[in-house]
Amino acid sequence: MADAAILVTRPEPGASDLVSRLTEAKAGRIFSAPMSTIEATGGEVDQGDASALLITSPRAITHADPLPELPVYAVGPASAEAARKAGLTVAGEGQSTVDETFLALIPDGTRLLHLSGERLATDPREPLEARGVRYRRQFVYAARAPQEAPAALADFLASNSPHFVTFLSALAAENFARLVRNRNLPPLAALCLSPRIAQTAEASGTFENVFTATDPDPALFVDFVSSRCT
């Protein structure tokens, strides 16, 4: 395969790191066109009577202010690492998916405060409350869609190489499809972190091929992209 053209749609923080890791892996020619910007929602975290925190994205740690000094249940390694760097104790760590195995780590009776973004990939309220966990959510950041296409998007689409677009969120796939809707497109392949993201990409009708990572851990995403592009 000729050198692939790979588009990173992840916003900062995280985009630069992904670009750097893909470059080091020599996966192809890397373009960065974030499909959202992350903004703190402002205001203090309402700890209330919470006895533990649920963290499903490292961004919740970055944008929470002030951060309650409570034990953390982290959905995956990236969230757990962010919590530890912030000086918090990780009481339980999942494998990057809000599944039954992860939810079982949270004891019955826990008063859980979920710090999250405005949109959730998976809403854990119902299965947690069924387990006797008292669940409350406060969103501390939001992803804003770009009003105009990032400049790098045109350069990516004009490349003569095979085209791969990376998605770590369904919102990024939605925003990408919206921004390219009226363009003449080369054949595009979507590389998606999870089945839910892949479903969004497929539903858009934008991509000739859609591929899904076998492991939803963002830390392994570069290996997945490299395997498809080299």
What number is the average pLDDT over the span 199-215?
97
Domain-by-domain residue ranges, the chain?
Answer: 5-36+148-229, 39-143
**Alpha helices for 14-99 (secondary structure H):** 15-24, 58-63, 77-85
pLDDT of 107: 97
Same topology between domain 5-36+148-229 and domain 39-143: yes
Collapse the DSSP code of 227 into the 3-class scheme (helix H, G, I; strand E, B; otherwise coil) and give the result: helix
pLDDT reading at 56 higher than 80 = yes
**Gap between the terminal Cα atoms of the chain:** 7
Question: 58 in the Ramachandran plot: left (φ > 0), alpha (ψ -120 to 50) or beta?
Answer: alpha
pLDDT tens-place string over residues 22-42? 999 999 999 999 999 999 998
Instruction: Report whether pLDDT(1) > 60.
Output: no
- The amino acid occupying position 31 is F
Higher pLDDT, 35 or 3: 35
The DSSP bridge pattern shows strands 134-144 and 37-40 to be: antiparallel
- The residue-averaged pLDDT of 57-63 equals 92
pLDDT beyond 60 at 11: yes
Return the CATH number of the domain spanning residue range 5-36+148-229: 3.40.50.10090
Where do the H-state alpha helices sit in the chain?
Answer: 15-24, 58-63, 77-85, 100-103, 125-130, 151-158, 170-179, 195-204, 221-229
Domain covering 39-143, topology: Rossmann fold (3.40.50)
Residues 6+ apart with CB under 8 A from 20: none
- pLDDT per residue as tens digits for the range 92-142: 999 988 999 999 999 999 999 999 999 888 899 999 999 999 999 999 999
pLDDT at 224 over 60: yes
